[in-house]
Structure 1
Amino acid sequence: MNGDWFIRGRDGRLSVYLPTDEALLCRAERLPGGPWASAQTVGGNQKLTAVPAVGHGPDCYAHLVSWRPTVAGEAGLVHSTHYRPRLAALDWVPIGHPNKKGDVTGTPAVAVDAQGRAHVFVRNRGRGVSMLAQKEKGGWGPWRDLKGSKVEEDLAAVTGESGRIELYAAVPGGIVHWRQEKAGATPVLAEALETPVRPGTLYALATSPDSTTLFYTDQSGDLCAWRPGGKPAALLSSAGPGRVCAVRCELDGHDCTLIAQRSASGRVAFAAYPTELESAGAWWTESGPQLPADAEVSLAVDEEDRVVAATLSPSTGQLLVTRRKDEPGLALEAWRAV
């Protein structure tokens, strides 16, 4: 999945989204903090292709986007809304193609603004970025070309604390950043950063009323944090080859950013530091069993404001979960299969 596939719903239940060869599945807690239900198909029996994306707005609704095959050699994007984890998601609805028609052009990304409107971003055939947004009173607006050049496939979309949408993309030798100047406006290309970024490692997080922070791995293997308008900071060496995930949480009374990544050893590595204070430093602590090579890790905060971590292996379907203990520091419960 592109985006936070492990989320807390409006009813307090945690859920995960699992892509398979034929469909997108969802597993959810039967009640907050309780046992988990079996997997359910999301959006009906529509066959999907490529990597789906999920966006999670302030209203706690999940917006899901994926490609579906149309005619031979072509595909189109589809969208579904999932209001509560234990309820059925809406059926997949076609939303078109950034170039009107053609094959898959890239992995989509989704962000949801303060008004609950989904914004879908995807690389287009010219390797720029196109966007489609929901209207305030229902339906979708037109596809808009946000420009850009030589954009890599994976995009990182995020909703700031202001409720406005921002987008990050990797390009050869750098990162480009789009942002909305006001609610409902089309995001504009705001800044470009020259940096040796590794494609496929971008993750964005809202970290203050005015800022979002982009985490990425550079070519030397350092995990870096960048807020537009400033310079990137090398936080620590990357624990593994993939993308990190991050969440804001309170640790011992302090506003902290917790980062997790599947390490090179195959276990989950955690690091925490005071939010937006990269100069304080951070270090990795590994936890849990060794995971399959395709396992991903994600973070959420439950309705009791406890950090919860989940790992999911698409090849095996194995879901492991752990919660922070009710004690100082970042002590975690034993990982358990659900």
Structure 2
Amino acid sequence: MATAPVTTPPDSGPQGSPQVSGRWLTRGRDGRLSLFLPGEQEVVRWTEHASGWQGPDRLPAPGVLPRVTLAQGEDGYVHLVGGRRTADGNLELVHAVQFQTGRPMLGWTSLGHPNRIAKWTGDLTAVVDGAGRLCVALKNGGGGVSVRLQQTNGGWGRWQDLGGRRVRETIAAAVDGEGLVELFVADATSVGRWIQEKPGAPFTAAEKLTVTTTPAVFSALTTQDGEVVLFFSDEDSTVRRWAPGREEDARLLLEAAGPGPLVPAVTAIDGHPCTVLAQETADGEVAFAAYPTGNEDAGAWWTPTEPGAGRGLSLALCPRGDQGLVAVVLPPGGQPLLNRQKTAEGGFALGRWKPLD
């Protein structure tokens, strides 16, 4: 299989090395996996086939900065959101869609920007609601959060300013069992939750948790029963889980495996619904932990794996039904490595990290 240079870790601005976030490992309606990575003026895509992986396909992204966020809905459509410079030097957000696995993308169309003088204020968060509408959120120039919702006819509503001051750049988002989007926004002393009262509705403020979080670990997940939970780490590098619909406070899960971002996913282990966490360690390993969903008292502990790819990894997980969980890591300046859950073995077991073939 042909290979191509791909992304390296993020930096503090839009002009640096390529960066990918969100669901950059996706599963189509036909069950096949796709892997997306941004490059210069393009998005590089690999697609799974019966004979192995094919690619890289180079999808044009003229003028788009090499920092792309991906989201996927239940309809299988893959949404890509990024930014590009306008003729007057401002920044506009842009959106493209892949409707079918392995097919060309449609786009890139402009989403504008919430600020009149549009500058880079932080990476985007994107999620698709139960009706297939994309929701885009980002830190705005005023230090708060702005959100824009796609409409059922494919158009876009107005930007909604959620307010806030000096919020963290990372915004967590997930869709509950009723198809409604939930957003989690952190500042120096708290985490705020924003919800929708009905599909497509503007966001309203809900609970606020008084806590100090770290930027690296801040991810939301929809569990098998449709509950949205937030994973974050505190000042003591302890991973906690907050289920606002069930508990007022966050619960301690385990110590963080390392300094890297934490990626959660759901899968079945021995026929039981479970939650899996993955995180890069300080030694460049990828550690996994698993526990029965909704039964955190059962305990969770980290098991390290060795991709042998160095530090600064990007990491993605993708559930694949009865075929288990698929994991991909991207080393700085290197090629993707893939691992699969061994569903025939007892407990949570993985194979070896391998290049795409």
- Which TM-score tier does this pair reach, normalised by the shorter chain? over 0.9
Q: How does 1:68-87 map to 2 (within 5 A)?
A: 68-87=84-103
Amino acid at match of 1:36: W
Residue number in structure 2 paired with 1:40: 57
Measure how far apart 1:21 and its partner are: 4.0
Measure how far apart 1:93 and its partner are: 0.6
Indicate conservation of the 8 Å contact 1:201/1:244, yes or no: yes
**Equivalent of 2:187 in 161, 167, 171:** 171
Residue number in structure 2 paired with 1:8: 27
Residue number in structure 1 paired with 2:38: 19
Q: How does 1:202-217 map to 2 (within 5 A)?
A: 202-207=218-223, 209=225, 211-217=227-233
Q: How does 1:134-149 map to 2 (within 5 A)?
A: 134-149=150-165
Measure how far apart 1:248 and its partner are: 1.0
If the length of structure 2 is used for normalisation, what is the TM-score?
Answer: 0.89
- Write the distance in 2 (CA, Å) between the matches of 1:174 and 1:23: 38
Quick one: percent identity of the two aligned structures? 37
**Equivalent of 2:139 in 123, 128, 137:** 123
Amino acid at match of 2:237: G
Residue number in structure 2 paired with 1:237: 255
**Equivalent of 1:321 in 338, 341, 346:** 338
Indicate conservation of the 8 Å contact 1:19/1:314, yes or no: no
Amino acid at match of 2:355: A
**Equivalent of 1:246 in 237, 258, 264:** 264
Residues 229-283 of structure 1, C-alpha deviations (whole Å, 9 max, x = no match): 5211121111111211111111112111011111122111110001122222100
Indicate conservation of the 8 Å contact 1:121/1:130, yes or no: yes
- Write the distance in 1 (CA, Å) between the matches of 2:48 and 2:66: 27
Indicate conservation of the 8 Å contact 2:193/2:205, yes or no: yes
**Equivalent of 2:126 in 81, 94, 110:** 110
- Where do 5+ consecutive residues of structure 2 fail to align? 1-19
Measure how far apart 1:5 and its partner are: 1.5
Q: How many residues align?
A: 334
Residue number in structure 1 paired with 2:168: 152
- Write the distance in 2 (CA, Å) between the matches of 1:25 and 1:178: 34
Residue number in structure 2 paired with 1:54: 70
**Equivalent of 1:88 in 104, 109, 113:** 104
- Where do 5+ consecutive residues of structure 1 fail to align? none
Measure how far apart 1:50 and its partner are: 6.0
Comparing 97-106 with 166-175, greater Cα deviation is found at 97-106
Residue number in structure 1 paired with 2:240: 224
Indicate conservation of the 8 Å contact 2:43/2:61, yes or no: no
Indicate conservation of the 8 Å contact 2:268/2:322, yes or no: no
Residue number in structure 1 paired with 2:8: none
If the length of structure 1 is used for normalisation, what is the TM-score?
Answer: 0.93
Distance 1:142 1:120, change over 3 A: same
Distance 1:140 1:206, change over 3 A: same
Residues 148-207 of structure 1, C-alpha deviations (whole Å, 9 max, x = no match): 221111211111122110111221122111111111111212121111200232111012
Comparing 205-214 with 74-83, greater Cα deviation is found at 205-214
- Write the distance in 1 (CA, Å) between the matches of 2:105 and 2:216: 28
Indicate conservation of the 8 Å contact 1:20/1:314, yes or no: no
Indicate conservation of the 8 Å contact 1:216/1:243, yes or no: no
Residue number in structure 2 paired with 1:331: 349
Residue number in structure 1 paired with 2:307: 289
- Write the distance in 1 (CA, Å) between the matches of 2:336 and 2:66: 21
Indicate conservation of the 8 Å contact 1:155/1:169, yes or no: yes
- Write the distance in 2 (CA, Å) between the matches of 1:300 and 1:208: 14
Amino acid at match of 1:62: V
